[in-house]
Amino acid sequence: MVELDRPSVKVSFRDLGLVPFAEAWDIQTGYHQQLLARKQALRQGKDAAPLAGHHLLFCEHPPVFTMGKSGKPEHLKLPQSELEELGFTYFKINRGGDITYHGPGQIVGYPILDLEEFYCDVHRYVRDLEEVTIRTIAAYGIEGTRIPGYTGVWLAPDGDRTWRKICAIGVHLSRWISLHGFAFNVNTDLSHFDYIIPCGIGDDDKSVTSLSVEYGQRMDMEDVKKNMVQAFQDVFQCEIKTGSTC
């Protein structure tokens, strides 16, 4: 990774815990609007809001399916009424990508960054988000990789096991300020993916997995989060400020 010739950018980190998708969306958009207002003020030569900084949010969601802008309705296998009876919610959102699942045991990461203070390269941004997960799972002896043409982090075929996706990524940028992010399966109930065609990928040689499945035991979520925050800090060459506002 190319080293950036700039002072370390500060990023405020919050772990929201288990939170409904709509509530996390409101928090994201609130931070996004603060960053946008700050950028506009700076460009107009005005004093910028001192509390409007970069943010990294971690959370888990109650079971929910989200459909990105390029998603196809037929990739949701059950009618919404049946999903609601099973305890799932469903949202159409403005990130890239198709349909995915969020639920307990999954680390959902929402970076809200003004990328003009990092780099203006959306492809590099997605690759860097992938790199964060690759470094995180490497701490547990698991090798993550990429497949050309497929976003996210994958595990290569092993014995009778096919390509397995461990982390999905879908982002949205507005004036180079990021929204949405990644969904990393740690202790996730993978059976919930059976109700969708995950990320619209119906290939027979591709499936989903989790860190607990690959490692062979249930994972300590706090330990995994700690490693992931460190990986984010290293990849983005920033300074993570836990529980603070930058």
Which of the following is catalytic: 167, 199, 238, 246?
Answer: 199
Percent of the chain having pLDDT more than 90? 64
Q: What is the pLDDT of residue 244?
A: 47
Contact 136, 229 (CB under 8 A): no
pTM of the entire structure? 0.90
Q: Decide if 246 is catalytic.
A: no
Q: What is the pLDDT of residue 50?
A: 53
- Mention every residue, 6+ apart, whose C-beta is less than 8 A from residue 162: 204, 205, 206, 207
Q: What is the pLDDT of residue 246?
A: 40
Helices (H), the chain: 21-43, 80-85, 122-138, 211-215, 221-236
Q: What is the pLDDT of residue 47?
A: 62
**What is the tens place of the pLDDT at every residue in 38-80?**
788 777 776 655 555 899 999 999 999 988 887 787 888 888 7
Reply yes or no on whether the pLDDT at 82 is more than 90: no
CA 1 to chain centre: 20
Domains of the chain, each with CATH number or no CATH = 9-242 (3.30.930.10)
Nearest in space to 101 (alpha carbons), one of 21, 27, 156: 21
Reply yes or no on whether the pLDDT at 3 is more than 50: no
